[in-house]
Amino acid sequence: MAIAEGVGPEGMLFVRIDAAFGMMIRASLFVAGMLIVAAAAPVQSLGLVRGLDLTVYPDGLTHVEALLEADPQQPELAASLFGSSIDNFVATGGSGHLLETRITGDGAVIETLGASSVSLEYDIHDLVSKEGRIWSFSLDAPAAYTLLMPEGTVIVGMSRLPASMDAAGGQSLLSLPEGPVRIDYIFAASAAGPQPVPVEPAADIVLPLAVAAAAAAAAAGGILYMRRRTSRVLAPIPDAPRSYMDPQAIFQIKPDLREDDRAIVSFIFRNGGRAMESEIRKRFLQPRTTMWRALKRLERNGIINIEKRDQQNVVTLTDSLEEEE
């Protein structure tokens, strides 16, 4: 820093500090620029898990449904995922509208648009592994959750006991606490073979097949479990007497319908001609995006009508269908 000194006409000493003054201005501009950048950067809040439901499919794919608490004052919500192999990711706000999402590795950043809660649904391939006949589900959960096992499975080992175990339509439904857990299972078709292999390490709790089967039978003969959704309460569909087309008549007019679409039509008819989208999805254990594509396909064919009611999609069979020429 250059400092120039001089003596005035009256003997006064003058000191030039032009360089120092310039440096102070540049420092002030730098600080102001950093503050502007910090203010422009999006502020994120970390989602707190309020509800968690998992469904394991026969091929080991796991469907995750989570309800996160969000700060409506923050524009973005940071959510931790259970792995990096993610498919069919959908994030919706409290009113059911889709939210923009950025997925990076095992995390997601969601634009909340002022929502106080965010619902997440996605499929993941990282939670189930297989060695020989033994399938293993492993998860370190941040909150208590429910786990719906595939149909026809028999649990042969668990690292910790569930809070409850019920049976629903030939499937085991477990209520598990937060924290790490490992569940080993086999499919019933192979249950008649050799005795199940004990779970390693030795500290794990081994459940004999007879005990597991007896518990499942007792639960099936007792209480039929209805899964509770913490995200919202489904409003009942009000009764409105009307007629619906018989599935066989629909299939005659639309002979090229896919088998899975035919199954959906038959289920809606047996349900009184109407059903919530969520009810259909739970019946067929399909991810939300997969089921939505199937319903939109049926709607385009004129077979069903989809109506938004109480933030839910109500699916209704048509009462008439024009024959194809």
Which of the four pLDDT bands, split at 50, 70 and 90, describes residue 192? very low
pLDDT surpassing 70 at residue 308: yes
pLDDT of residue 161: 92
pLDDT of residue 211: 47
Q: Which fold has domain 247-317?
A: Arc Repressor Mutant, subunit A (1.10.10)
pLDDT surpassing 60 at residue 196: no
pLDDT surpassing 80 at residue 210: no
pLDDT surpassing 60 at residue 1: no
- The Cα-based distances of 207 to 160, 161, 198, 214, 219 in angstroms read 11, 10, 9, 11, 16
And the tokens for 303?
Answer: 């077979």
pLDDT surpassing 70 at residue 111: yes
Task: Report helix, strand or coil for 136.
Answer: strand
d(CA 282, CA 77): 27
Nearest to 303 by CA among 294, 290, 291, 313: 294
pLDDT of residue 37: 44
Q: Which fold has domain 46-124?
A: Immunoglobulin-like (2.60.40)
d(CA 178, CA 10): 83
pLDDT surpassing 50 at residue 92: yes
Query: Alpha-carbon Rg of the chain, whole angstroms?
Result: 30
pLDDT surpassing 90 at residue 197: no
Which of the four pLDDT bands, split at 50, 70 and 90, describes residue 13? low
Answer whether 174's CB lies under 8 Å from 227's CB: no
pLDDT of residue 195: 41
Q: Higher-confidence residue: 22 or 142? A: 142
Q: What is the pLDDT of residues 117-161, one digit of tens each?
A: 899 999 998 999 999 999 999 999 999 999 999 988 999 999 999
pLDDT of residue 21: 57
Q: Higher-confidence residue: 72 or 199? A: 72
Q: Where are the domains of the chain?
A: 4-40, 46-124, 128-221, 247-317
Burial class (CB in 10 A: 0-12, 13-18, 19+), 115: buried
Most confidently modeled range among 157-171, 183-197, 206-220: 157-171
Query: Within 13 Å and on the Cβ side, how many CA atoms surround 37?
Result: 6
pLDDT surpassing 60 at residue 97: yes
Q: Taking the CA atoms of 63, 65, 71 and 75 in sequence, report the sign of the dihedral they define.
A: positive
pLDDT of residue 312: 75
Q: What is the pLDDT of residues 223-275, one digit of tens each?
A: 333 344 433 444 444 444 467 889 999 999 988 888 989 999 999 999 999 99
